[in-house]
Amino acid sequence: MRHKILLLCAALLAAACAQAPQKPAGTPRAILLGQLESWVQKGQIAYGHQDDLPYGHAWRVEDWERDPLERSDVKATTGCFPMMVGFDLGGIELADSCNLDGVPFGLMRKAALKHIERGGMVTFSWHPRNPLTGGDAWDISSDQVVRSILPGGEKHTEFMLWLQRAADFLESLGDVAVIFRPWHENLGSWFWWGGRLCTAGQYQELYRLTWLYFTKERGLVNLVWCYSPNGPIPPQEYMSRYPGDEFVDLLGTDIYAYRGDDSIEGTRVRYAEQVKVMFTSLTAIATEHKKLVCFSETGLEGLPDTGWWTECLYPAIKDFPISYVLTWRNAHDKPGHFYAPWPGFEGEADFDAFCHLEDIVFLEVE
């Protein structure tokens, strides 16, 4: 039996059913959390893809107000949409019209809502620019940035405007629940909020400030908050900057496979080991803290391993209680920067096989 979410279009439903379909009870947030949990309980893992709808390998949505948003590299290769679609808010803080990867925020809103309406889920990350230097999220030239935006810092007022703009966007989605994953990969030192760029206390204050502003001041109660440090790291470090149970719903991690000069087999073995160490520990932490687990980002850039999905990713994750796994974006303008196959790519068949595994969940639309 294939465990896919089957969606009937509204017209079919109206024709076939006298009564409206039963909506699950609870707030949008509780329903989203409940869905993630039910996959875990059934031993299933949902699949996600970053920026799946605005663009793909060598294509992008041009006229987004008219575009039906049916195109997707994942759908073109498997017949199904990813269950989870990720978007990035980078650029919203300066009221830009497009995000850092050229996605208009209007398109992002439309695609997110359309995906949710189809029965899918949405997660937002955020690569905001550097509020102290004016550089990008990767500008690590100063270790004073986080200090400067916290209460009492010289950039605090400006930073609160950045939070306001991000909150305005999420609020504009209306009464739907989405996952929000701010200040990610915080144990590495490649973002201005990273490990060597601020103290643990400053990081926690930043996360809590964000949560408090969104939740208490703005009343954004539909957000599911994801904490997602980078891996691989020694597992005992995972909680070293944890903001606290009150501020987090989902425990994630970002771990990528890297080939480097290694063989395909060597790359697989290394990745499997890293995933195993990290998720063994995350599973125990999640049980202790009563949280759900996700694999917030992963992938192998350019997919040089054509069996990566069923012979590397799947065996690495299948025995862990991971609610969803998200692979990164298929850039429209950087030919080698992709993490999911597209029609004609040689690894297509393996991805299709992954999609049709019993315990992997895609979004099937009829």
Judged by beta carbon, residue 47 or residue 124, the one nearer ligand BMA is 124
Pick the closer one to ligand BMA by CB: 56 or 90: 90
> Among all chains, which residue has been given the structure tokens 């790519």?
345
Residue nearest to ligand BMA (CB): 88
| Cβ closest to ligand BMA, residue 74 vs residue 360 | 74
| Min separation Cβ 10 and ligand BMA, Å | 33
- Cβ-based neighbours of 309, under 8 Å, separated by 6 or more: 347, 350, 351, 353, 354
Residue 133 to residues 103, 115, 190, 210, Cα–Cα distance (Å): 24, 36, 15, 20
Q: Does 254 bind ligand BMA (CB under 6 A)?
A: no
Give 324 or 328: the residue with its C-beta nearer to ligand BMA: 328
Count of residues making up the chain = 366
Q: Are 148 and 141 in contact (CB under 8 A)?
A: no
By the rule CB under 6 A, 98 interacts with ligand BMA = no
Cβ 95 vs Cβ 165: under 8 Å:
yes
Give the binding-site size for ligand BMA (rule: CB under 6 A). 7
Task: Verify binding: residue 184, ligand BMA, rule CB under 6 A.
Answer: no
Q: Report the nearest approach of ligand BMA to the CB of residue 274 (Å).
A: 18
Tell me the two tokens of residue 320. Answer: 């862990």
- SS3 call for 299: coil
Residue among 355, 259, 245 nearest 302 (CA): 259
CB of residue 179 to ligand BMA, shortest distance in Å: 16
CB of 90 to ligand BMA, least distance (A): 6
Residue 47 near residue 82 (C-beta atoms within 8 A): yes
Amino acid letter for position 245: D
Look-up of token digits 């920067």: 337
CA distance 266 to 275: 14
* Least distance (Å) between residue 48 CB and ligand BMA: 14
Burial of 336 (0-12, 13-18, 19+ CB in 10 A): exposed
For the segment 272-331, give every residue that binds ligand BMA (CB under 6 A): 328-329
Indicate the SS3 state at residue 125. strand
CB 105 to ligand BMA: min, Å: 14
Phi, psi at 172, each rounded to 5°:
-70, -10
Strand pairing partners for 250?
A: 226, 292
Smallest distance, ligand BMA to C-beta of residue 14, A: 39
In whole angstroms, give the CA distance from residue 230 to residue 286. Answer: 16
- Our CB check for ligand BMA shows the closer of 84 and 361 to be 84
Cα angle 197-198-201, degrees, rounded to a multiple of 5? 160
Cβ proximity to ligand BMA: between 331 and 361 the closer is 331
- CB of 73 or CB of 101, closer to ligand BMA: 101
Q: Does 100 bind ligand BMA (CB under 6 A)?
A: yes
CB of 195 to ligand BMA, least distance (A): 18
**For ligand BMA, the closer CB: 60 or 329:** 329
CB of 336 to ligand BMA, least distance (A): 11
- Say if residue 118 is exposed, middle or buried (CB neighbours under 10 Å; 0-12, 13-18, 19+): middle
Q: Is 101 in the site for ligand BMA (CB under 6 A)?
A: yes
Does position 127 interact with ligand BMA (CB under 6 A)? The reply is: yes
Name the residue nearer to ligand BMA (CB basis): 55 or 64: 55
CB of residue 88 to ligand BMA, shortest distance in Å: 4
Residues 6 or more apart whose Cβ sits within 8 Å of residue 106:
64, 65, 97
Contact call for residue 268 and ligand BMA (CB under 6 A): no
Q: Which is nearer to ligand BMA, 147 or 332 (CB)?
A: 332
Per CB under 6 A, which of residues 72..91 are in contact with ligand BMA?
88, 90
Contacting residues toward ligand BMA, per CB under 6 A: 88, 90, 100-101, 127, 328-329
